[in-house]
Amino acid sequence: MDALLFWILAAGAVTASVLVIGQRNPMRSVLLLIVSFVALAGLYVLLGSPFAAVIQIIIYTGAIMVLFLFVVMLLNVPTEEIPIGRAARLLGGAAPRRFGAVISAVLALELFWAIGRMTVLNMPGGDVKPTEVHDIGVRLFRDYAFAFEATSVLILVAMVGAVILARKEPR
Protein backbone atom coordinates (compact mmCIF):
# COMPACT_ATOMS: atom_id res chain seq x y z
CA MET A 1 0.00 0.00 0.00
CA ASP A 2 2.74 2.43 1.01
CA ALA A 3 4.79 1.43 -2.02
CA LEU A 4 1.87 2.07 -4.36
CA LEU A 5 1.22 5.47 -2.73
CA PHE A 6 4.91 6.38 -3.03
CA TRP A 7 5.00 5.67 -6.76
CA ILE A 8 1.70 7.46 -7.41
CA LEU A 9 2.78 10.58 -5.46
CA ALA A 10 6.27 10.55 -6.99
CA ALA A 11 4.82 10.30 -10.50
CA GLY A 12 2.39 13.11 -9.68
CA ALA A 13 5.11 15.39 -8.32
CA VAL A 14 7.43 14.80 -11.29
CA THR A 15 4.67 15.19 -13.90
CA ALA A 16 3.38 18.40 -12.32
CA SER A 17 6.92 19.84 -12.06
CA VAL A 18 7.67 19.04 -15.71
CA LEU A 19 4.43 20.74 -16.72
CA VAL A 20 5.34 23.79 -14.58
CA ILE A 21 8.49 24.15 -16.69
CA GLY A 22 6.63 23.44 -19.93
CA GLN A 23 3.93 26.09 -19.59
CA ARG A 24 4.17 29.45 -21.30
CA ASN A 25 1.37 30.88 -19.19
CA PRO A 26 2.66 31.68 -15.65
CA MET A 27 -0.87 31.32 -14.25
CA ARG A 28 -0.98 27.63 -15.20
CA SER A 29 2.58 27.18 -13.91
CA VAL A 30 1.59 28.45 -10.46
CA LEU A 31 -1.49 26.20 -10.30
CA LEU A 32 0.50 23.13 -11.43
CA LEU A 33 3.18 23.91 -8.87
CA ILE A 34 0.51 23.74 -6.17
CA VAL A 35 -0.33 20.21 -7.40
CA SER A 36 3.35 19.27 -7.14
CA PHE A 37 3.58 20.69 -3.59
CA VAL A 38 0.51 18.76 -2.43
CA ALA A 39 2.00 15.53 -3.83
CA LEU A 40 5.21 16.25 -1.90
CA ALA A 41 3.18 16.86 1.28
CA GLY A 42 1.70 13.39 0.76
CA LEU A 43 5.22 11.98 0.54
CA TYR A 44 6.11 13.71 3.82
CA VAL A 45 3.14 11.99 5.48
CA LEU A 46 4.36 8.65 4.07
CA LEU A 47 7.76 9.40 5.59
CA GLY A 48 6.16 9.94 8.98
CA SER A 49 6.62 13.73 9.15
CA PRO A 50 3.14 15.21 9.55
CA PHE A 51 4.68 18.48 10.78
CA ALA A 52 6.61 18.98 7.53
CA ALA A 53 3.50 18.05 5.52
CA VAL A 54 1.30 20.54 7.36
CA ILE A 55 3.72 23.47 7.09
CA GLN A 56 4.21 22.55 3.42
CA ILE A 57 0.47 22.90 2.83
CA ILE A 58 -0.12 25.95 5.02
CA ILE A 59 2.97 28.05 4.24
CA TYR A 60 3.96 26.90 0.75
CA THR A 61 0.66 26.31 -1.00
CA GLY A 62 -1.33 28.58 1.29
CA ALA A 63 0.87 31.65 1.54
CA ILE A 64 3.76 31.65 -0.96
CA MET A 65 1.76 30.43 -3.93
CA VAL A 66 -1.05 32.90 -3.21
CA LEU A 67 1.62 35.63 -3.26
CA PHE A 68 2.75 34.37 -6.68
CA LEU A 69 -0.86 34.26 -7.91
CA PHE A 70 -1.39 37.84 -6.77
CA VAL A 71 1.65 39.05 -8.69
CA VAL A 72 0.73 37.09 -11.82
CA MET A 73 -2.77 38.57 -11.78
CA LEU A 74 -1.47 42.05 -10.94
CA LEU A 75 1.01 42.17 -13.82
CA ASN A 76 -1.32 40.40 -16.26
CA VAL A 77 1.34 39.19 -18.69
CA PRO A 78 -0.10 36.00 -20.14
CA THR A 79 2.78 34.71 -22.27
CA GLU A 80 6.51 35.11 -22.79
CA GLU A 81 7.59 37.75 -25.25
CA ILE A 82 10.27 37.52 -27.90
CA PRO A 83 13.33 39.47 -26.74
CA ILE A 84 14.27 42.49 -28.82
CA GLY A 85 17.63 44.11 -29.48
CA ARG A 86 21.10 42.76 -30.08
CA ALA A 87 22.20 42.47 -26.42
CA ALA A 88 19.01 40.61 -25.60
CA ARG A 89 19.57 38.17 -28.48
CA LEU A 90 23.13 37.52 -27.33
CA LEU A 91 21.93 36.73 -23.81
CA GLY A 92 18.73 34.87 -24.55
CA GLY A 93 19.11 33.57 -28.09
CA ALA A 94 19.05 29.95 -29.18
CA ALA A 95 22.74 29.24 -28.50
CA PRO A 96 22.86 30.37 -24.82
CA ARG A 97 19.63 28.47 -24.15
CA ARG A 98 21.06 25.33 -25.71
CA PHE A 99 24.14 25.80 -23.54
CA GLY A 100 21.91 26.11 -20.47
CA ALA A 101 20.02 22.96 -21.45
CA VAL A 102 23.33 21.07 -21.80
CA ILE A 103 24.48 22.30 -18.38
CA SER A 104 21.28 21.23 -16.65
CA ALA A 105 21.40 17.83 -18.41
CA VAL A 106 24.99 17.38 -17.19
CA LEU A 107 23.92 18.24 -13.63
CA ALA A 108 21.07 15.71 -13.81
CA LEU A 109 23.42 12.99 -15.12
CA GLU A 110 25.93 13.73 -12.35
CA LEU A 111 23.24 13.45 -9.67
CA PHE A 112 21.88 10.19 -11.11
CA TRP A 113 25.39 8.76 -11.41
CA ALA A 114 26.25 9.66 -7.81
CA ILE A 115 23.01 8.25 -6.37
CA GLY A 116 23.22 5.18 -8.62
CA ARG A 117 26.64 4.33 -7.14
CA MET A 118 25.30 4.40 -3.56
CA THR A 119 24.61 1.09 -1.83
CA VAL A 120 20.88 0.47 -1.54
CA LEU A 121 19.77 1.64 1.90
CA ASN A 122 16.43 0.27 3.05
CA MET A 123 14.14 2.46 5.10
CA PRO A 124 13.71 1.25 8.70
CA GLY A 125 11.08 -1.46 8.57
CA GLY A 126 7.84 -1.84 10.47
CA ASP A 127 5.02 0.65 10.76
CA VAL A 128 5.86 4.29 10.20
CA LYS A 129 5.66 6.01 13.58
CA PRO A 130 5.03 9.72 12.95
CA THR A 131 7.46 12.05 14.69
CA GLU A 132 5.86 13.86 17.57
CA VAL A 133 5.46 17.61 17.05
CA HIS A 134 6.37 17.86 20.74
CA ASP A 135 9.89 16.54 20.00
CA ILE A 136 10.32 19.00 17.14
CA GLY A 137 9.18 21.87 19.36
CA VAL A 138 11.62 20.95 22.14
CA ARG A 139 14.52 20.68 19.69
CA LEU A 140 13.52 23.87 17.87
CA PHE A 141 13.23 26.07 20.95
CA ARG A 142 16.22 24.62 22.82
CA ASP A 143 18.99 23.72 20.36
CA TYR A 144 17.88 25.87 17.45
CA ALA A 145 16.64 28.86 19.45
CA PHE A 146 19.22 31.25 18.00
CA ALA A 147 18.45 30.22 14.42
CA PHE A 148 14.75 30.64 15.16
CA GLU A 149 15.25 34.19 16.43
CA ALA A 150 17.51 35.02 13.50
CA THR A 151 14.71 33.85 11.18
CA SER A 152 12.36 36.42 12.70
CA VAL A 153 14.87 39.18 11.90
CA LEU A 154 15.17 37.79 8.33
CA ILE A 155 11.39 37.89 7.87
CA LEU A 156 11.26 41.48 9.17
CA VAL A 157 14.05 42.60 6.81
CA ALA A 158 12.39 40.82 3.87
CA MET A 159 9.06 42.48 4.66
CA VAL A 160 10.53 45.98 4.86
CA GLY A 161 12.64 45.33 1.74
CA ALA A 162 9.65 44.12 -0.26
CA VAL A 163 7.63 47.19 0.68
CA ILE A 164 10.48 49.55 -0.27
CA LEU A 165 11.27 47.75 -3.56
CA ALA A 166 7.67 47.60 -4.77
CA ARG A 167 6.82 51.16 -3.70
CA LYS A 168 6.12 53.73 -6.38
CA GLU A 169 8.97 56.22 -6.40
CA PRO A 170 7.83 59.81 -5.80
CA ARG A 171 8.75 61.98 -8.76
Partner 1 sequence: MLPEPTLNSYLMLSAVLFAIGTAGVFLRRNIITILLSVEVMLNAVNLTFVAVDRFRGQVDGQIIVFFVITVAAAEAAVGLAIVIALFRHKEMLTPDAFTSLKW
- Within residues 109-148, the interface with partner 1 by CB under 8 A covers 111-112, 115, 118, 120-124, 128, 131, 135-136, 139-140, 144, 147
| Listed residue (136, 123, 134) closest to 47, CA to CA | 123
Shortest distance in whole angstroms from residue 162 CB to partner 1 = 4
Among 127, 166, 170, 171, binds partner 1 (CB under 8 A): 166
Among 127, 165, 170, 171, binds partner 1 (CB under 8 A): 165
**CB atoms < 10 A from the CB of 44, how many?**
18
Shortest distance in whole angstroms from residue 129 CB to partner 1 = 9
| Cα–Cα distance, 130 to 65 (Å, whole number) | 27
| Listed residue (77, 82, 73) closest to 31, CA to CA | 73
Shortest distance in whole angstroms from residue 107 CB to partner 1 = 6
The yes or no reply on residue 73 touching partner 1 (CB under 8 A) is no
Among 38, 94, 146, 154, binds partner 1 (CB under 8 A): 154
| Listed residue (82, 34, 74, 93) closest to 58, CA to CA | 34
| Cα–Cα distance, 136 to 92 (Å, whole number) | 45
The yes or no reply on residue 94 touching partner 1 (CB under 8 A) is no
